[in-house]
């Protein structure tokens, strides 16, 4: 959505109306408290993309600033090398860390909204868990992304710095649009994630192994019809993306169980063909028993859900 339409408010809210982030923290800790069977550790990183350069918002004041690099780990999870990953021990600490990062966020004024941010914000919580009984480890990530405003360059003012910001924002949002188009197309073809740092940062939230929810904020004013139209067209394209999310797990236990399952599957097939030889006809309904990796309930990206 364009600047002033309520994106940041949706993510952060205020004291009276908490936004997504404080609500997510609360929900997350409620869930964790009920997971007696698991050892769970949380950590987070928070980066800002401003004029094509990345900034670590959780860098301790005394730590040296190092160049950040976007990479992917063995799970296909995006990692920002050089950015501080801070352990989260409690709900109040989570809120404090988020506030600390926000204080560091670069803001500049535009004609449209004096306090609006001209940067993209990515806040990610990495969740590592271990099942105490099976030893199975699972790693997941929850990312909150607050995008910069998508308004037309002409509305942002003639100031040279503002123009530079607007062009960088348009470039990154176009790159995001292109990735969304390629993903929504259905056919497996090249997805241009690497065209922009924003799409590199969001790669594991968009096309891969993820469940994604996108909010579109629009202005009701007729003066903003163009932007509203652009935002809704964008949203329509996002609706075409279908993601399949599976748990990132791996353990000796599941390897062993999968081997046993494969053996049993072979046994079933052998018995079935024997029965068929004897004239018995039947239909098997479930043929995929593999567990652990790649079998979690398949979930399509559906913005209408929930
Ligand atoms: N649902 C809402 N209720 C109350 N105030 C809101 C709401 N949504 C946005 N605002 C206010 O409108 C202004 C612009 O919203 P903001 O979230 O900063 O827009 P954006 O991030 O899209 O530029 C802010 O002052 C914000 O507090
Ligand atoms: Mg904002």
Residue 197 counted as an annotated binding residue: no
- For 102, the token pair is 């926000």
Domain boundaries, the chain: 7-277
pLDDT confidence band for 299 (50 / 70 / 90): very low
**pLDDT (average), residues 178-204:** 88
Q: Which amino acids bring their CB within 6 angstroms of ligand 1?
A: 1, 3-9, 113, 116, 149, 217
Q: Which of 165-179, 180-194, 242-256, 265-279 has the highest mean pLDDT?
A: 165-179
Residue 70 has pLDDT above 70, yes or no: yes
Residue 2 known to bind ligand: yes
Q: Which ligand is located closest to the Cα atom of residue 102?
A: 2
149 is in an annotated binding site: no
Per-residue pLDDT reduced to its tens digit, 225-271? 999 999 999 888 888 877 666 777 666 666 677 777 777 877 888 88
Split at pLDDT 50, 70, 90, the class of 302 is: very low
Residue 69: the pLDDT is: 97
**19 assigned to a ligand binding site:** no
Top-level CATH class of 7-277?
alpha beta
Of residues 100 and 112, more confidently modeled: 100
**179 or 188, higher pLDDT:** 179
pLDDT digits (tens, 9 = 90+) for 13-22: 999 999 999 9
Q: Is 197 in contact with 70 (CB distance < 8 Å)?
A: yes
Distance 8 CA to ligand 1 centre (A): 7
**Ligand 1 mutation target, pool 7, 8, 9, most atoms within 8 A of CB:** 9
Examine the pLDDT at 38 and tell me if it is beyond 60: yes
Please report how many Cα atoms fall inside a 13 Å half-sphere around the Cα of residue 37, on the Cβ side.
6
Least confident of 39-43, 77-81, 133-137, 261-265: 261-265
Report pLDDT for 112.
54
Dump pLDDT digits (tens) for 103-147: 888 554 455 554 446 889 999 999 999 999 999 899 999 999 999
| 278 marked among binding-site residues | no
Q: How far is the CA of 69 from the centre of ligand 2 (A)?
A: 24
Kindly state the average pLDDT of the residues 271-279.
Answer: 85
1 marked as part of a ligand binding site:
yes
Distance 7 CA to ligand 1 centre (A): 7
Question: From CA 149, how far away is CA 290, in angstroms rounded?
Answer: 45
**φ, ψ at 67 (rounded to 5°):** -65, 140
* Mean pLDDT, the chain, whole residue set: 83
pLDDT at 166: 86
CA of 275 to the centre of ligand 1 (A): 67
Give me ligand 2 centre to Cα 131, in Å. 39
pLDDT for the residue numbered 284: 57
- Residues forming beta bridges with residue 141, ordered by sequence position: 126
Q: Are 107 and 117 in contact (CB under 8 A)?
A: yes
Distance of CA 165 to the CA centre of its chain: 24
Q: Does residue 185 have a pLDDT over 50?
A: yes
pLDDT confidence tier of residue 297, bands split at 50, 70 and 90: very low
Q: How many angstroms separate the alpha carbon of residue 141 from the centre of ligand 1?
A: 27
Q: Which residues pair with 240 in a beta bridge?
A: none
Question: pTM of the prediction?
Answer: 0.79
Query: Ligand nearest 113 Cα, by number?
Result: 1
Looking from the CA of residue 12, the nearest atom of ligand 1 is 17
Atom of ligand 1 nearest to the CA of 9: 17
pLDDT at 149: 85
Taking the CA of residue 10 as reference, the ligand 1 atom at the shortest distance is: 17
């Amino acid at each position: 959505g364009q600047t002033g339409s309520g994106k940041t408010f949706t993510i952060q809210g205020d004291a009276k109306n908490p936004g997504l982030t404080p609500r997510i923290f609360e929900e997350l800790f409620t869930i964790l408290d009920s997971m007696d069977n698991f050892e769970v550790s949380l950590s987070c990183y928070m980066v800002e993309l401003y004029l094509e350069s990345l900034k670590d918002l959780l860098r301790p004041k005394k730590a040296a600033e190092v160049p950040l690099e976007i990479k992917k780990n063995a799970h296909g999870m995006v990692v920002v090398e050089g950015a501080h990953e801070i352990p989260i021990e409690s709900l109040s600490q989570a809120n404090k860390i988020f506030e600390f990062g926000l204080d560091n966020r670069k803001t500049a004024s535009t004609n449209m909204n004096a306090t609006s941010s001209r940067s993209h914000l990515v806040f990610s919580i990495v969740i590592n868990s271990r099942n105490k009984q099976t030893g199975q480890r699972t790693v997941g990530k929850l990312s909150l992304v607050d995008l910069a405003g998508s308004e037309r360059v002409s509305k942002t003012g003639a100031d040279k710095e503002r123009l530079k910001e607007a062009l960088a924002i348009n470039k990154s949002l176009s790159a995001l649009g292109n990735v969304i188009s390629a993903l929504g197309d259905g056919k497996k073809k090249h997805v241009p994630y690497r065209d922009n740092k924003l799409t590199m940062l969001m790669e594991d939230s968009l096309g891969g192994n993820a469940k994604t929810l996108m909010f579109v904020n629009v202005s009701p004013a007729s003066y903003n019809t163009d932007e509203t139209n652009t935002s809704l067209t964008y949203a329509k394209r996002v609706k075409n993306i279908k993601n399949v999310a599976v748990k990132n797990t791996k353990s000796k236990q599941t390897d062993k169980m999968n081997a046993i399952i494969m053996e049993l599957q072979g046994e079933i097939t052998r018995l079935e063909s024997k029965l068929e030889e004897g004239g018995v006809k039947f239909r098997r309904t479930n043929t995929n028993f593999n567990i652990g990796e790649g079998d979690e309930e398949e979930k399509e990206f559906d913005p209408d859900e929930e």
